[in-house]
Structure 1
């Protein structure tokens, strides 16, 4: 596959992923608002079970959103659950400055070359970014419908057949 083909394949993949993600969100929202907890429905595609959809009870979460109010309540009602902790820490601004310098130089050392313990610098793997044109969805849709993209990305969607390029069926 050429670099140009790789670029097109990534753009098409991004468009299709976006289309599918939007459809998934919309369908889930509709199911959440029209079904009730416990509802379950099996899906059949081409006379074969393809899976099931079920509405499950939402998870219950508890978090402290007002530390001061909670601590005051505990002080009044459960003083035995309070503890005093004294800590020493490095000022966050200094930590940030050391880390920024280490990223720039590739190692954690002082200006005179002394190694700073406890800091690790790791170079991550390269990443690939896909940026879509404003009309990418329309372009991909038209190209897909014409069959133009089948050879390039047909393997991503093996159950689909390309459009007949000659217009015959």
Structure 2
């Protein structure tokens, strides 16, 4: 589910920026650049957090940020100023590091050493499955043309996926603390 939400953003936001906002490929790329920049910084922060609190804590932060980012995608329209779009993109970068590090660390913690190669391959496969599911979800929420309403539906879909992930992460965190 994490990667379905990620890829909705990675595929859907640039499409909206080009089709509805009227930006070219370079302009759309520059607007989504904060996703990568903040994602790199959040990876460092997530590493520190999970060393102190474990992978579930990183997942809670990441999925909460993803939920907020999804909800923020319900705000812009074709006339929104570029600085607003940059702020939203930056917010959408925050969950990347936290969720990637949290998911990887949780997998490593749960996998016996002799099965690490297979687990890593399955983890990567889950990313591909998430990308494929995102493409199908985008076909449903964006339709033929990525208009404002489609972007808003996509944001809600991302927020809903993140909400489910947040509940699961909080449940896992609370269960771990009780144990």
Asked if Structure 1 and Structure 2 have the same fold, meaning a TM-score greater than 0.5 normalized by the shorter chain, the answer is: no
Q: Which has the higher contact order (CA 8 A, sep 6+)?
A: 2
TM-score by length of 2: 0.22
TM-score by length of 1: 0.23
Higher helix share goes to which structure? 2
